[in-house]
Structures are given as structure tokens and as C-alpha cells.
Amino acid sequence: MGRTYFGTDGIRGMANVEPMDAPFMVRLAMAVGEYFANGRQQRRVVIGKDTRRSCYMLESALTSGFTAAGMDVFALGPMPTPAVALLTHSMRADLGVMISASHNPYHDNGIKFFGPDGYKLSDAAEEEIEAILQSRDLKGEPDRLGWVTRLNDASGRYVEYAKTTLPDRVRLHGLKIVVDCAHGAAYRAAPELLWELGADVVPVGVEPNGYNINDGCGSTATARAAQAVRDCGADVGICLDGDADRIIVLDETGAEADGDQIMALLATKWARAGRLNHSTLVATVMSNLGLERYLNAQGIALERTPVGDRYVVERMRAGGFNMGGEQSGHIVMTDFATTGDGLVAGLQFLALLKESGQRVSELTRCFEPVPQQLKNVRYVAGSLPLEARDVRAAITDGETRLKTRGGRLLIRKSGTEPLIRVMGESEDEALLASVLDDITGAISAVG
């Protein structure tokens, strides 16, 4: 059976429109509760959220469904996604729930589920939940209702754990750090963590109002943080997304270092210290060819997966690897966390910065990226533009043209929006632009 509601990273959609509405969330929570029942009387779920206004509606609906299904709910409040994963495991919960649409604007929202081990649910588990949701009359029992507790110290638990991921005796005294929290889930935890470690902290994007999450700030819009870095003479900028599982680093001039550059630096340092399992980094098909060439020159293998940090983690677990991530800034280090953690990745970078005595611009230029272009084409939901003859012909022609110049082409559907993502890489930028224009034009023509 396929998946109707679950995509590459949980369930996502426009707030207050099914499936991101209250009635569906009640039914979903009851189905999940039944999936995790296993004949046991006492089950618990932790729920975190980001700062979108719709999170309050969805949290209330999920809480109703879970308690109706007999699950005890621990409400964490605004909390980074990796903190929810951590607390799910440390509190011996059966399930963790994060309400967030990550880097998307406020009018979207989403649900991510974590199992008792702190890892995201598998495709098979999501399919079984959908089968329960669609095939059964979900009813609770009046004598088996769950109860609700608000966990007021959840953020502090996460902050204290994150500190332990720093090497012994490394503190951040002497560093001026701009941290952009995207008006999102880490708006309290991130500045507090960095300040407690001794840094001079300049906070940006820490005034959420329910509508401004990711709005001109955070990891997908770094101009405001870059200006703050320049204005205050900061050493470094740390830009998180709405649920703080991504990081983009800014150097002292405000220039960006994406996930590929951060992974290149960390993987090289870990490999030299004998810490990188099997001398291998796991990344997605979106990571730059320049990263692959650089790692190979260092004697480090690169294994690629489909897009989505869950697929990176699945490959890491299967192969016994301990570092992976995405160009977008998801960095997964299973020595410390079960999912992407922007703050923990930031701490690992800051530790290297302190130890090296170099400027950020010197650390974050590990390789010269191969020119890469990405274009998104919106299509009518339910249509199949990639199956159109003219589109297939344009893709075949583009692949042939790029291959002759050592480039590559990647075409995929977004797992969260009705978009076709067309990405290409080539040293010949004019050829690359021409190929992408031909393909996106063909897709647009068929709708």
C-alpha cells in the first residue's frame, strides 16, 4: 500500500486545510495511538512545535486524539526538532511529534513523527498508520483516557545536553556570534546556549509573532544576519531554520558556507582524528560535485542517497556511518543526535574555529563548487508532467549535452509541494543555463 498523506518528511500542507486541519489531526493521532498500542495500558507521547500560529490548533487537536487513544501527552512548547527527538528517547516515550513546516512560510505546517529510539518513523510504519487511518472506525474507550502534562524545563534539558557535545574545556569566550533563529523554534534556546558557553551573542530573528517565521531571515534568507555580522564586527554568523534542524554559517564578511562546505570541513577533521566511521560521508544527490571531488582527494568516500535527511539517516544506520547531511544545512552526526541538529552542528564548527585560530573565511572554503543551478517549476497537483513526451525528450537531450562536459542533471518532484525541481551542474555555465531553460520550459508547457 502506498502513502497518501506522508511525504519525504512526515505530513505537510497548508494550515487549516486537510490534512493540516483539526479534524484530521484528531483522527491521525488516534490512528497513531492504535499503532503504538501493543496491548499496553500506559503509553506516552511528547509533542513539540515551532512558532507558527497554527501550531496551537494542531497541538490541541493532536492532544485530543492521543488522549482519546489512551496516550499520556507531554507538551514541550516551542522546541527544535532535534530536541523532540532527544527527549522522545530520554523520556522513554513511545512517540515524539514535532509540529513544524521547517523552512516553509507561516501558512504551511507539518507533522514529523519519531519512534521510541529517537529516529524518524520508517516508510513501512507510516504506511501502516495510513492503513489504520483509512480503514477503521477509530473510537476511544471512556475508561482508558490519557492525561496531559506541560513540561516546563524541556528547553533547559536540551540546552544542557547540547553543551556536552563540545570537546572538553572548549568554550566560546572571545567569539562574537550573530545567531539568526528565523523567529522559530530555537528563538530562546540558541542565544541562551551560546551565551552560557561564553560567547558575545547578537540575536536576530528572536521575536516570533506567529506569522514571521522564516520571513526574510534564517537559513534560507541570510541577508539580514549577514548585515548584522558586518555592522557589529562579528566573527561568525549562525543561521538556523524554523525548526532549527538546519544551519548555514556566515563568515566575518557575511558570505555563506552551505551544508556541503560544513560537511567537508567536519568530515576531514573527523577523518584525520580517526573519528569518521569507515572514512565515509553520506550526502544526498543534491550535494555538489565539488564536495565529492574534494572528499575523494582526502581519501574519504561519499555515498549518495535520495533527497531527504531521513534517507541520509537510514543509509548511515545501515552502513554504520556517523556523519551525513544535505547541502541545505541538515548535518547529522549520530555520535550526538538521531536527526539533523543545527545547533549541535554549529557547536562542532565553533569548536574547530576556536581550536584553529583561523578566521571563518579560511575554514569554510574547503573546495570550489562546480557551478550549480536549481529551478523549480510549479505544476497542477495530480498531473504527471514528467511523463509527457516533450518533457522526457528535453530531459534526455539535456543529460546528453551535460554529460559531454562532465556535468550532471537531476530531476525530481518535491516531497512537500507540487513542484518539479530541476538541478544541473557543469563547468560550462552557459550550457547549463540553456539545458535548464529547455527542460523547465517543457514542463511549464504541459502544466
303-327 per-position pLDDT tens digit: 999 988 989 999 999 999 999 999 9
| pLDDT > 70: percent of the chain | 98
Domain stops at, among 299, 331, 363 = 363
The CA distance from 217 to 240, in Å, is 9
**Block residue for cell numbers 492532544:** 63
Tell me, yes or no, whether 117 and 249 share the same domain: no
pLDDT for position 19 = 96
pLDDT for position 270 = 98
Q: Is residue 349, in this structure, part of any structural domain at all? A: yes
pLDDT for position 41 = 61
Q: Is residue 24, in this structure, part of any structural domain at all? A: yes
Cell of 142: 471512556
The answer on pLDDT for 38 being more than 80 is no
pLDDT for position 296 = 97
Tell me, yes or no, whether 211 and 251 share the same domain: yes
Q: Is residue 5, in this structure, part of any structural domain at all? A: no
Domain stops at, among 193, 220, 255 = 255
Q: Maximum distance among all alpha carbons in the chain?
A: 69
pLDDT for position 138 = 83
Tell me, yes or no, whether 318 and 266 share the same domain: yes
pLDDT for position 381 = 80
The CA distance from 380 to 446, in Å, is 10
pLDDT for position 87 = 98
Q: What is the pLDDT of residues 9-20, one digit of tens each?
A: 899 999 999 999
Query: At 39, is the pLDDT very low, low, confident or very high (cuts 50, 70, 90)?
Result: low
Tell me, yes or no, whether 356 and 404 share the same domain: no
Q: What is the pLDDT of residues 78-120, one digit of tens each?
A: 999 999 999 999 999 999 999 999 999 999 999 999 999 999 9
Tell me, yes or no, whether 140 and 54 share the same domain: yes
pLDDT for position 169 = 86
What is the CATH number for 300? 3.40.120.10
The answer on pLDDT for 1 being more than 60 is no
Q: Is residue 167, in this structure, part of any structural domain at all? A: no
Tell me, yes or no, whether 249 and 135 share the same domain: no
Q: What is the pLDDT of residues 41-71, one digit of tens each?
A: 679 999 999 999 999 999 999 999 999 999 9
Query: At 2, is the pLDDT very low, low, confident or very high (cuts 50, 70, 90)?
Result: low
**Block residue for cell numbers 547529522:** 332
Q: Is residue 130, in this structure, part of any structural domain at all? A: yes
Residue 328 is part of which domain span?
259-363
Tell me, yes or no, whether 378 and 349 share the same domain: no
Contact status, residue 242 vs residue 81, Cβ threshold 8 Å:
no
Q: What is the pLDDT of residues 110-150, one digit of tens each?
A: 999 999 999 999 889 999 999 999 887 787 778 889 999 99
What is the CATH number for 430? 3.30.310.50
Q: For the chain, what is the domain count?
A: 4
Tell me, yes or no, whether 37 and 111 share the same domain: yes
Q: What is the pLDDT of residues 217-269, one digit of tens each?
A: 999 999 999 999 999 999 999 999 999 999 999 999 999 999 999 999 999 99
SS3 312: helix
Residues that are catalytic: 102
Tell me, yes or no, whether 329 and 347 share the same domain: yes
Contact status, residue 117 vs residue 337, Cβ threshold 8 Å:
no
